Structure 1
Amino acid sequence: MHPSYHHGDLRRAVIDEALRIISSSGPEQLSLRAIAAAIGVSHTAPRHHFGSRDGLLTAIATEGFDGLADALIATREGGGTFLDVGVSYVGYGTSHPAHFAVMFAPDLLLEDPELARASGRAFGELRSGVEALGADGRVEDAHAAVVAGWSLVHGLTTLALTGNLERANLTGGRPAPELLDLVRRAAGMLYGSPG
């Protein structure tokens, strides 16, 4: 038996193994039976916590959105600007690629109130940043501003995770801190630098 399962944390062991598989093969390759075999439990054990493969993916997406929301909130509460929140979005997505791959794949997920709550927290942070800019008179069309800001940071995260920024020689093979500097410069063109 898997040590985590032996200590009563089968749910976490299943999620961790699923994240490992998603990181290496993508969410489409996920199998509850393979996860059970990898962690040394019966093939029905993961169903006890998740019901199905889609239930497991929904739990991973929920965890991902909660983690993203926590990162964005910590940035804002730490005095960060809307630009800083955008950089945090990319930082979270690139440091949690398996979560990110599932969070924005609605065809793989169940309709779930916990998922709706978690994604609502994350999107609420993006919206509140735009509202703050609107209060300063920097944004006239809040709806378009949310779409523009989210598209920019989500697109940059996706380009980084898929290796497209590197293949286009736009990162110069630089490490993650340099990527976040690139994000800050690109997002600053949209809403201006915090200074």
Structure 2
Amino acid sequence: MSARPYHHGGLREAMLERAQATLRDSGVDGLSLRELARDIGVSHGAPRRHFRDKGALLDALALDGFRRLGEILGEVASAESPTFAETLTDVAVAYVEFATANPALLELMFTSKHRADASVELHQAANASFDRVAALVKRGQVAGELVEGDLHQIGLLLLATLQGITSLANTEMIESTELGQLTAYSVQSLLLGLMPRDSARKPLSSPTSTDR
């Protein structure tokens, strides 16, 4: 059987698409440039025009993952919703849906980002994907919906909550049908705790070594 021809640029996209499917089904250990080449019908050496080795392929997958996540969160965050709470809830649900649909990819994204040799491009894509959420949190503060405080700390609190829900879903401790309701309830509870109060409008302080 002859290898299928690819027009310029087509092979890279085909490799990434197939690699994403393999990552979902078999994890990082199941990925191989040779196997991917066979699956899409090209010579064993063809993928090296775009990926010098498996590590380069993994980096490309992580980069693409952050870009896709950023597009999803940005689109939801910019959509018109009646209230700030509804917008934040929609963003949270979108994140959890992405994370539970792509658990192996999400793990790869974060581990790749925190490698010592992670590229500047990967860091920029990762930061950009969460900048949309930070901007939304800032909007909430300006509108008086959230207590003033460190955007990074508030963002980490939100991310920790969503990662916890994702972990429960990915380990089948909760049903997929519960995800939307649990995420919405968690965001509502979080907002209740972060709501400005007449008796306590001081900005949130960052944790210190003496905090308990």
TM-score w.r.t. length of structure 1: 0.81
Q: Does 1:138 align with 2:146?
A: yes
Q: Distance in 1 between matches of 2:116 and 2:46?
A: 20
- The corresponding residue for 1:186 is 186
Q: Give the deviation of 1:99 after TM superposition.
A: 3.0
Q: Deviations over 1:27-53 (max 9, x none)?
A: 133211221222222222112112221
Change (3 A) 1:137 1:126: same
- The corresponding residue for 2:163 is 154
State the AA in 1 paired with 2:76. T
- The corresponding residue for 1:88 is 94
8 Å CA contact retained: 1:65, 1:118? yes
Q: Does 1:54 align with 2:60?
A: no
State the AA in 1 paired with 2:88. F
Can you give the 5+ residue segments of structure 1 that lack an aligned partner in the other structure?
none
Structure that is richer in helix per residue? 1
State the AA in 1 paired with 2:125. A
- The corresponding residue for 2:203 is none
Say which SS state the counterpart of residue 105 (structure 1) adopts: helix
Q: Aligned runs of 1:164-179 on 2, under 5 Å?
A: 164=171, 166=172, 168=173, 170-171=174-175, 174-175=176-177, 178-179=178-179
Q: Distance in 1 between matches of 2:99 and 2:187?
A: 16
8 Å CA contact retained: 1:58, 1:110? no
Change (3 A) 1:109 1:139: same
Q: Distance in 1 between matches of 2:96 and 2:158?
A: 12
Q: Give the deviation of 1:78 after TM superposition.
A: 0.7
8 Å CA contact retained: 1:65, 1:122? yes
- The corresponding residue for 1:129 is 136
Structure 1 runs, 4 residues or longer, greater than 4 Å off: 107-110
State the AA in 2 paired with 1:70. E
Can you give the 5+ residue segments of structure 2 that lack an aligned partner in the other structure?
82-86, 194-212
State the AA in 2 paired with 1:155. G
Q: Distance in 2 between matches of 1:30 and 1:179?
A: 29
- The corresponding residue for 1:101 is 107
TM-score w.r.t. length of structure 2: 0.75
Say which SS state the counterpart of residue 121 (structure 1) adopts: helix
Q: Give the deviation of 1:14 after TM superposition.
A: 1.0
- The corresponding residue for 1:21 is 22
Q: Distance in 1 between matches of 2:138 and 2:39?
A: 47
Q: How many residues are matched?
A: 183
Say which SS state the counterpart of residue 136 (structure 2) adopts: helix
State the AA in 2 paired with 1:126. V
8 Å CA contact retained: 2:77, 2:133? no
Q: For the pair shown, which has the larger CA radius of gyration, 1 or 2?
A: 2
Q: Give the deviation of 1:100 after TM superposition.
A: 2.0
Q: Give the deviation of 1:22 after TM superposition.
A: 1.0
- The corresponding residue for 2:65 is 64
Q: RMSD between aligned alpha carbons? A: 2.5
